[in-house]
């Protein structure tokens, strides 16, 4: 990789920075300024206290004097609580736009949309592990500098299509959580996630949603409705709701009949190698019913590396999060939705290094964005590819419950680049 010497860097700045005094100052001082925008809610899977330790570790590594992509550079990381608010998130971006070289995050769709529209005008790169909704595919029109490090829900739909075709299934019912009509939260992640799935499966599929106030009786009606047209049900909801739904399915004899299969799309890996059927404060009878019900469930989740290097890296992140932000991860490896921010920093640093080495005709932000797209890079999760539209091509795992241990284990991988199971 190219590493820029002091004199050459100065000449590049003089020739190409022009009247952009802010950019010239950044390059002369060998400084990169990242602004991290994410919620500070510890219950959010990409909260500041979860992603900041990994971003700071990546910043330290890329500036390492001996092995870094930007040796000896100063990497400044500042953070802002978005509250997942379409008001507070953009306000934070406006506050720092003149002293920011790249945004890491936002992670909430209703914050990403306005921030990325403005960032395109400001020519500031945005790198996020969120923003998988279909609307963010329109980069040229609205989101010119957005790079999505966990890809698009379109890739989830392609994975589901491949998995279902593998088993010869084509008629599917979709059942998902969405916020109620009177909620001020807009649509849920599940709404955005299953939209592309519905599109790719075509008009033969039916879909229904439920919300916070849905009762056991409501679940019964929803399942009976779906059973009229489909024996395959794709579910998207948090683990407690999935369990509640499967208990109702068990009560309706949908499990014992052997005629139904349920898929759960759980991208954030919260059920990996766990027993989601078991709840400590529930009765033994209901836990046993739930255990039986989960035998009819297959889980689709983002693929997490199981190499010793990744496990060691995961443990390092857990220790940093505990030490610096008093946050305790669970026993599973750190989700790729978190570690993707490490790869985001690597990707940006590599593109910046190349931009300085080979020059640029437009703004440096636009050139860095261009160099981050349509390429393959070695990241913390292994080699990954960002396609020509700035979306990382994503792999997924299919999990089934092991009848001997009653825990979910990986039974297959979907490889996004090849679109094969």
Q: 126-128 and 74-81: which strand pairing?
A: unpaired
Candidates 187, 411, 170; CA nearest to 301 is 411
Q: Is the link from the previous residue into 106 a cis peptide, with omega within 30 of 0?
A: yes
Quote the pLDDT of residue 275: 85
Quote the pLDDT of residue 292: 96
Q: What are phi and psi of 300, to 5 degrees?
A: -105, 125
In whole angstroms, give the CA distance from residue 258 to residue 239: 22
For 268-287, the pLDDT digits (tens) are 764 444 788 999 999 999 99
For 41-65, the pLDDT digits (tens) are 988 989 999 999 999 999 999 999 9
Quote the pLDDT of residue 26: 59
Domains assigned to the chain: 31-150+306-389 (3.40.50.2300), 154-266+271-302+397-418 (3.40.50.2300)
In whole angstroms, give the CA distance from residue 266 to residue 246: 15
Quote the pLDDT of residue 22: 46
In whole angstroms, give the CA distance from residue 340 to residue 54: 9
Q: 126-128 and 206-210: which strand pairing?
A: unpaired
In whole angstroms, give the CA distance from residue 55 to residue 330: 19
The DSSP bridge partners found for residue 261 are 232
Candidates 127, 152, 120; CA nearest to 348 is 127
Intervals of the chain under pLDDT 50: 1-4, 7, 9, 14, 17-19, 22, 270-273
For the chain, the first-to-last Cα distance in angstroms comes to: 34
155's CB contacts (< 8 A; 6+ apart) are 391, 393, 394, 396, 416
DSSP letters for 62-106: HT-TTT-SSTT-EEEEEEEE-TT-TTHHHHHHHHHGGG-SEEE--
Number of other residues whose CB lies within 10 A of the CB of residue 142: 14
DSSP letters for 292-325: HHGGGEEEEEE----SHHHHHHHHHHHHHHHHHH
For 221-249, the pLDDT digits (tens) are 999 999 999 999 999 999 899 999 999 99
Count how many residues are written for the chain: 421
């Amino acid at each position: 990789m190219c590493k820029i010497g002091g004199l050459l860097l100065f000449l590049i700045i003089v020739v190409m920075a022009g009247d952009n005094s802010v950019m010239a100052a950044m390059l002369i001082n060998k400084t990169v300024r990242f602004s991290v925008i994410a919620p500070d809610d510890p219950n959010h899977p990409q909260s500041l206290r979860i992603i900041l330790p990994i971003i700071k570790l990546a910043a330290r590594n890329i500036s390492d004097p001996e092995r870094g992509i930007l040796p000896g550079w100063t990497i400044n990381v500042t953070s802002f609580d978005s509250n997942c608010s379409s008001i507070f998130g953009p306000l934070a971006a406006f506050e720092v736009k003149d002293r920011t070289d790249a945004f890491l995050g936002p992670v909430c769709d209703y914050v990403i949309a306005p921030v990325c529209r403005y960032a395109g005008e400001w020519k500031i790169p945005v790198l996020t592990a969120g923003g998988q909704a279909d609307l963010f595919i329109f980069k040229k029109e609205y989101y010119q500098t957005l790079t999505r490090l966990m890809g698009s829900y379109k890739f989830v739909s392609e994975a589901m299509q491949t998995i279902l075709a593998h088993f010869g299934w084509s008629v599917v019912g979709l059942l998902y959580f969405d916020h109620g009509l009177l909620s001020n939260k807009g649509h849920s992640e599940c709404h955005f996630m299953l939209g592309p799935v519905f599109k790719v499966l075509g008009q033969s599929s039916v879909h229904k949603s439920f919300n916070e106030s849905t009762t056991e009786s409501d679940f019964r009606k929803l399942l009976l409705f779906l059973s009229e047209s489909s024996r395959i049900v794709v579910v998207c909801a948090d683990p407690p709701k999935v369990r509640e739904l499967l208990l109702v399915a068990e009560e309706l004899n949908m499990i014992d009949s052997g005629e139904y299969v349920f898929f759960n799309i759980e991208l954030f890996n919260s059920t990996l190698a766990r027993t989601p059927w078991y709840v400590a404060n529930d009765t033994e009878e209901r836990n046993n019913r739930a255990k039986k019900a989960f035998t009819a469930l297959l889980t689709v989740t983002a693929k997490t590396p199981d190499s010793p290097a990744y496990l060691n890296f995961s443990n390092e992140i857990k220790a940093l999060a505990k030490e610096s932000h008093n946050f305790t991860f669970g026993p599973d490896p750190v989700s790729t939705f978190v570690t993707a921010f490490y790869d985001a920093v690597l990707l940006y640093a590599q593109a910046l290094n190349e931009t300085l080495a080979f020059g640029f005709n437009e703004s440096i932000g636009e050139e860095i964005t261009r160099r981050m797209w349509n390429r393959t890079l070695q990241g913390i999760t292994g080699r990954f590819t960002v396609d020509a539209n700035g979306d990382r091509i994503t792999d997924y795992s299919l999990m089934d419950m092991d009848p001997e241990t009653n825990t979910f284990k990986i039974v297959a991988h979907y490889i996004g680049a090849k679109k094969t199971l």
